Structure 1
Amino acid sequence: MGEQQIVLAERPEGRPTRETFRYESIELNAPDAGQVLLETLYISVDPYMRGRMNDARSYSQPFELGAPVQGGVVAKVIESRSDALKEGDIVVGMLDWATKLVVDAKTVRKIDASLAPVSTALGVLGMTGMTAYFGLLDIGNPQPGETVVVSAAAGAVGSIVGQIAKIKGARVVGIAGSDEKTTYLKEELGFDEVINYKTEDVGEALDRACPSGVDVYFENVGGEIGDAVIDRLNPFARIPVCGAISGYNEKENIGPRVQSKLIASRARMQGFLVGDYGKRFKEAAEQLGEWVSAGELKYEETIFEGFDNVPDAFLGLFDGSNTGKLLVKL
C-alpha cells in the first residue's frame, strides 16, 4: 500500500536529531472484527515525548527501540468493522506515527467535527487545554487580583493557562523568548505584562512586572527562569509543575535547592499529570469548548505540512520556534 511509519532509531544522548528517527514502509492487513482502518490527518508533537525516548523509569513507558513512536493523532475512519464507528468518522487517540493504521475501535474516541476544527482535539480542546485547565485551577487556584506568572507563555499549554487566569480575574505575567511572542501575548491574548527572557534580565524584569510578588507560578521550563520566579513568591503561593523543558536534553540535572525557599514562602509546589484527572475530562472539555465558542479563549496552531516533516516539527519544540500548539498535517 506504500504506507509509512516512523520508529525510534536510537536513544538520543542530549538533544535529539533527525537520526533519532527512521522511516519504514508498512503493509497493512484489512481490519478484523472490532477494528478500524484509519488515515492520519494530524499528528501532535509534544515535549513529554523527549522523556519517553530515554530508557529510564518515568511516569510513562519508554518508547521501544525500533518500534513506532506514538503520540496524539487525529484520524479519519476509512473502513470499519466496528458498530461504534463508521466510515468517515473523525477520531482522536494515542496512536503510532504512521500514514495509515489498523487499530481496535475502542482505543480511539470519536470527535464532533461540527464543534470546532478537528485539530483542536489535539490542542485547546484536548490534552493540552486540559493540562492548562486542571493544573492552573486545581493546583494554582488563582483568585481575582492575584499575580499569576506563566513560563513558556506562548507555548501550547502556557498560552491557555494565561487566558484562563485572566478569565478568573487574575493579573497575568507571561515569559517567552521573542518580541513577536511577547507582542502576541499582550496584544492578542490580553496578558498584563510580558518578559522576553532572551533580551531581558529575568530577575529585574520580574521585579518590574510583579511589584506585589507572585501568587501562582505555572512552571513549564524550570532552569534559571524557574529559579528567578521562586525567589519572588508571596506567602502561600502555589506552583503547579507541568514541565521543565529547559532540562529535558541535559545529561545531568543540576538545579537549585528549593526547600528553604518553600519554607520561607510557605508555598505549595506540586507536580501533576493530566491523566490524573481522567474522570473529569468531560467537565474540562465542555468548559474549554464554551470559552472557545464565546471568544474568551483564543488558540494558535503552528502547523508543519507533510509526514516527511514530523521529525523537524518535534525538534522545533526545543528551539522555541512554535507559537501555540505544534502539529503536523498530513
Structure 2
Amino acid sequence: MALEAVDLVKTYSAGRNKPPVTALRGLSFAAAEGTVFGLLGPNGAGKSTTVKILSTLAAADSGSARVAGSDVAARPDRVRRAIGYVAQKPGTDPMATAAENLLLAGRIHGMSRRDAKARAGELTGRFGLADVANRPVRTYSGGMARKLDVALGLMHRPRVLFLDEPTTGLDPQARSEMWHEIARMAGDERMTVLLTTHYLDEADHLADRLAIVDHGTVVAAGTPEELKSDLRGDAVQIELREADGAARAVLQRVPELREITMDGCTVRGRTDDGARALPPVLAALDVAGIAVNSATLARPSLDDVYLRHTGHSLETDGEDAPKALEAAQ
C-alpha cells in the first residue's frame, strides 16, 4: 500500500481552562499505489489533521502511519522526499513569477538549476501557465494560482501527492481542468493522490476509493459505487414551508418510508419504491396540516451515504464545523 493509517489519535489543546479537542479518534484507512483516495467530510472532521500527520507536519498521539513504504514517525526524512503537499492556503510568493517560484521549489528539493528550470518549463506548459510564467503571481486569477500551487507540489516528481481541498473557490471551468489533471496524474504517472474534499461530486468523480470521516473517525469506506449500492431503493426529500418538528413523527407512521431524518425545513427518508411511497407521504403531511413546498425522489448519492452513517447532511455539517477544532488545526 502507498498509504496506511492505523488507529491514529490526535488531541489539541483548546486553551487555558478549556477541555482538549480530539481531532482524530482511531482513524484508519489504506490506499493503493496509482490511485486517487478521497477523504470526504465537513470542515473540522479531521481531514487536514490526517494529512498533516501523514506528511510529517504533525505527530499523532498514538497509532501508526506509513507513506510510500516508510514509517512516518521513524523515517520522516524518507517520507518527505517521497511526497508532494498542496495545502489549502497558497504556498507561493505573490511578488515572484511562476517560473521563479517553481525554480526555488526545485532547488529546495536538491535539483540542479538546469533540471529545475527544465522541470518548471514542463509544468507551466502542462498547467496552461506558459504564457504567464514570467508574470508576478499576484496578477493571477484564482484558478491560475491554484494550478501553480499543484505544480509546486509536483516539482520533484513525488510518489505520493497530498491535495488538501484543491478546488475550493475555483470556477466550474478551472475546477473541471483540475479534475482532469488529478485523474491524469494517477492514471498516467502511477502517482498516489490523497484528496481531501467536502465536495460530494468531486469525490464521486475522482476517487477510486474513499473514506467518509466524521468527528475524527472513518464511518464508511469503499468505492463510491460500493457505498451507494449499499443503500436500497430511492431517497425521498421533502421541503416543508416551515420547520415543524411534528413532521418526523407523522412520517414514521407511513410504512413505506424508513430512515427518516429532519434538518430544519428538510425531511429525508428512504423507500424501496419512490413512486408508490410519495402519495401516502404527502397525504400524511396534508392530514397533519403540515404545508409542503416541494418533494423529490432520487437514486442514492454520496450525500445519502453520509447521511446514513452520520445522521447529518454533509453540506449542513460543513456550515457548522466545530470552531475550536478549526482554530486548533
Shorter-chain TM-score above 0.5: no
**TM-score normalised by the chain length of structure 1:** 0.29
Answer 1 or 2: higher relative contact order, Cα 8 Å, separation at least 6: 2
TM-score by length of 2: 0.29
